[in-house]
Copies of this chain bind each other. A is one copy, B any other.
Amino acid sequence: MSHAQPTARTFSSGFTVHTPGRGFTDVSERLCEIVAASGIHTGLAQVFVHHTSCSLLICENADPVVRDDLERYFARLVRDGDPLFRHDAEGPDDMPAHVRSILTGVSLGIPVRNGELALGTWQGVYLWEHRSAPHMRKVSVTFIGD
């Protein structure tokens, strides 16, 4: 179940996601294409989004109701316009977007095996936009492996 490899290489790439406002964009397919282009067989893919009001996460990919439920859960956990928040220069969704981003993360390490992103059967990689308005989000991917 294990393989020692003589040397590792680095391969860097990235892409931009145009989000339609709050909601999920599946980026699994784009990541799989980049793995194939990298030529990496065994190693690690590190995915990173360069913003503080969206996040990258792994979520169940079969039933879209899971993402609907997630959105409803987080809308209740971190309420838009909560009077607790003083940072609201960009609107009632400004500070909640930062909190959501911190609770769900901007950086993911995913194994690469047999030249493919080794996601579980029900795992998809999503960019979660937390702002109400559409945004352009920059994603970087770093592969290290043999």
- A residues whose Cβ falls under 8 Å from a Cβ of B: 1-15, 34, 37-39, 42-44, 46, 48-53, 57-60, 63, 65-66, 68-70, 72-73, 76, 78, 84-87, 89, 95, 98-99, 102-113, 118-123, 138, 140, 142, 144-146
Contact = CB atoms under 8 A, between A and B. Distances in A.
A13 to B, nearest CB: 4
Q: How many copies does the complex hold?
A: 3
7 contacts: A4-B10, A10-B42, A49-B120, A50-B120, A52-B58, A69-B84, A111-B140
Most B C-beta atoms less than 10 A away, residue of A108, A112, A140: A140
Contacts of A50: 118-121, 123
Contacts of A108: 107, 109
A110 to B, nearest CB: 6
Contacts of A8: 7-10, 144
A102 B56 CA distance: 10
The 7 closest A-B pairs by CB, nearest first: A50-B120, A2-B13, A5-B10, A8-B8, A52-B60, A65-B87, A111-B140
A140 B118 contact: yes
Contacts of A65: 86-87
Nearest to A123: B52
Given A98-B59, A98-B70, A142-B111, A51 B120 contact: yes
